[in-house]
Structure 1
């Protein structure tokens, strides 16, 4: 009993999120770190099954981990340690990038799986960077993302780096599908909540060196470091899938939404205007082909 109490006290004081699953994959423990990262309290989670897909983990390849390749289940059945990167769903609907580690533990001869997870971006760097942008009026006030002015300045810098040092990057242009319908059906307050959830998700999905911002209205622009079209396709499609599995809340409504995405690589003759126009055309092609899809070119 002393050992169990000591272990619980240690886990409760970790920065990382931690939760314990029994052999039926019922959550029997949920620490304070997990509450902070996910927004879900211990009372809301303990006693529920992992397979209820509360956090709806999405892997880097866009697959739902809990339905297809659940790391906790693999650790439970094979007795091995698994490490993954994933994007979990916060209680407020947006996505959070996390690093996950699952491994089996034995307590009083019973087998459990412990999952540890932590946010996968440099929190201090992100907050410090965004504070500076806010002070320079370069943040969009609704979404908290960089605004059009900052994006175009950063794009110009990236093009110059490409022409001088062959610094390859891609531009992702995305637009929320049926956004006018959301506003017309539920009101502009609902549309604002969708924009805020998408903004938070994009901020959390950005890898080191990537920048996402609000370009205007329901349009967003991403500048992503990639080596070629194949990697750009993977990045853009992962983004599409993760947004598809996000949600916004407005009054008593749960709002699901999707995005159409156009993505293109920088080329030697590009200007900031030409590459944005090309990505925009590809995005409209994605709309024309049925929405909720990616077109790369």
Structure 2
């Protein structure tokens, strides 16, 4: 937070600072800002500068930021406070590098919460100083400093655990999405099979109705056939009372066989699940054929009775 407070411009932005860093160090080989644009700096610096920082910045970067973003009159004071904060965070006695300036630990560093206003007000105060890059022990009347390095390490550890948990949750979401996709596919297949079953049930019901109608019509034809045969037998008995019933029955059967040759059944099988279209069309026309055959039988039976009557008279 300290670097943000001292480096932002009047609008609270760091864009101007990044532009000056690019102009100053962007063409210097080996520098951490070499060949980077303002957008690149905004993206990379967000990991170690600002509220979303994941780690502490390196000391050489702090020196460059202060040198570019802080006026010369305040540069030494800001760099001294930055050195003290860096040493507290890194748990070191010296920030490293070629720094030989003052190391200052601000008094607000021990407060539970620190605001930007507190930092700005303290810039004019004479905090504890350490000359020649050597720190002294804290004054007896001041509370001991908090172990900010341990807290920062704990924050880093928790952040890594949060990232791992987020990755696991992302993997679980992928697996869940795949399972939902498979369930929807199986549900669609199940609905399709249910529709096929419904269509097959309806077709079987229609076939059952047609079969029942055919049996009823066959029964009616058989009844009419027997009625015609009984009628012919009665007429022949009245014309030839001395003839035996077996002789008359055989005579009638011979005439019927000659008029209507008996068809041989071939025993076709019915496929309910996958019917032949031609057979289905034939099944639909069968009732009409039975009705036509019944009418022909009645007409032929009447003709036979008239011919027998004429023959034996």
Pair in the same fold by TM > 0.5: no
Provide the TM-score with structure 2 as the length reference.
0.17
Q: Which has the larger radius of gyration?
A: 2
Provide the TM-score with structure 1 as the length reference.
0.18
Larger strand percent: 1
Larger helix percent: 2
